[in-house]
């Protein structure tokens, strides 16, 4: 059974800092890995999707890396802004072509 | 394109009462998911539909939860009778095809349930 862990559970940083969020998963036979953002009271917005054959994906100030063999992914946020404050969740298909299994998320606060 | 629509956004009920949530996925999306997100946790899949058929309902508490997707479009999720531990946000998501490797899920804003 796939399990996803995210560290840290919460993070507070001053504006402008670069930061890294971590995600680990127990079953390395994944289809892909996705990073989502969730604002309070809102649904989830997909940020990046990394296919199992890829090592990383970039979108603007966000860069996600994937190391399948070690069961780890990181989300790097450059030059953080107060608008980046949200909960960030990573998710993987539990096995093969199946629905997403989510971590508990990292709650990020960027202080102006 | 219009997003995934969910209603109601908020619902407060007493335990042992019943409640129903509605979801309208993105037009043309064959796959529909219901997730339960308890405060401080990640979303947990309750049920997955492909068109109007159930693909995965292994984590749905079938003694109290039911879901249907008539005509392969809208879906309803019902809880009867509700328990205190059902307090959560119920998220609906849709994707064009079943394969998560090829498509990104689009989530609705969720329906927040509080059971007193």
Question: Given pLDDT bands bounded at 50, 70 and 90, which one contains residue B108?
Answer: very high
What is the bridge-based pairing of β-strands A72-77 and A62-67? antiparallel
Residue A61, min C-alpha distance to chain B (Å): 20
- Name residues 46-85 of chain A within 8 A of B (Cβ): 46, 49, 51-52
> What is chain A's pLDDT, residue by residue, as a tens digit (112 residues)?
889 999 999 999 999 999 999 999 998 888 889 999 999 888 899 999 998 889 999 999 999 999 999 999 999 999 999 999 999 999 998 665 577 899 999 999 999 9
Which residues from B are below 8 Å from A91, CB to CB? Answer: 42
Subunit contact B107:A100, Cβ cutoff 8 A: no
| Long-range contacts formed by B54-59: CB under 8 A, 24+ apart | B55/B31, B55/B98, B56/A98, B56/A99
The 10s digit of each residue's pLDDT in B24-63 is: 999 989 889 999 999 989 999 999 998 889 988 999 999 9
Which residues from A are below 8 Å from B32, CB to CB? Answer: none
The closest alpha carbon to B111, from B25, B34, B21, belongs to B21
Which residues from A are below 8 Å from B45, CB to CB? Answer: 99-101
Contact B80, B15 (CB under 8 A): no
pLDDT of residue A100: 87
Subunit contact A46:B100, Cβ cutoff 8 A: no
The closest alpha carbon to B113, from B4, B7, B5, B3, belongs to B7
pLDDT of residue A16: 97
Contact B94, B2 (CB under 8 A): no
Residue B79 has pLDDT above 80, yes or no: yes
Q: Which residue of B has its CA nearest to A103?
A: B42
CA A30/CA A68 separation, integer angstroms: 8
**The tokens 């994937």 sit on which residue?**
A66
CA A1/CA A39 separation, integer angstroms: 28
For the record, the structure tokens of A72 come out as 């780890």
For the record, the structure tokens of B22 come out as 């509605």
Subunit contact A42:B98, Cβ cutoff 8 A: no
Q: Which residue of B has its CA nearest to A10?
A: B40
Question: Given pLDDT bands bounded at 50, 70 and 90, which one contains residue B95?
Answer: confident
Contact A91, B91 (CB under 8 A): no
């Amino acid at each position: 059974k796939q399990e996803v862990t995210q560290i840290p559970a919460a993070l507070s940083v001053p504006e402008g800092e670069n930061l890294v969020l971590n995600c680990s998963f127990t079953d390395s036979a994944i289809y892909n890995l996705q990073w989502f953002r969730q604002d309070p009271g809102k649904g989830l917005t997909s940020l990046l999707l990394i296919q199992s054959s890829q090592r990383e994906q970039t979108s603007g100030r966000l860069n996600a890396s994937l190391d399948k063999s070690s069961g780890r992914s990181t989300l790097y946020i450059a030059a953080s802004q107060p608008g980046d404050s949200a909960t960030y969740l990573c998710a993987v298909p539990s096995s093969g072509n199946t629905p997403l299994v989510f971590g508990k998320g990292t709650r990020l606060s960027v202080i102006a | 394109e219009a997003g995934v629509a969910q209603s109601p956004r908020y619902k407060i009920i007493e335990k042992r009462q019943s409640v129903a949530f509605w979801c309208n996925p993105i037009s043309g999306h064959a796959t529909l998911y219901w997730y339960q997100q308890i405060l401080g946790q990640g979303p947990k899949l309750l049920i997955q539909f492909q068109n109007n058929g159930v693909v995965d309902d292994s984590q749905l508490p079938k003694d109290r939860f039911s879901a249907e997707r008539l005509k392969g479009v809208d879906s309803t999720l019902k809880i009867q009778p509700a328990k205190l531990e059902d307090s959560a946000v119920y998220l609906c998501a849709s994707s064009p095809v079943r394969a998560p490797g090829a498509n990104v899920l689009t989530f609705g804003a969720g329906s927040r349930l509080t059971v007193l």
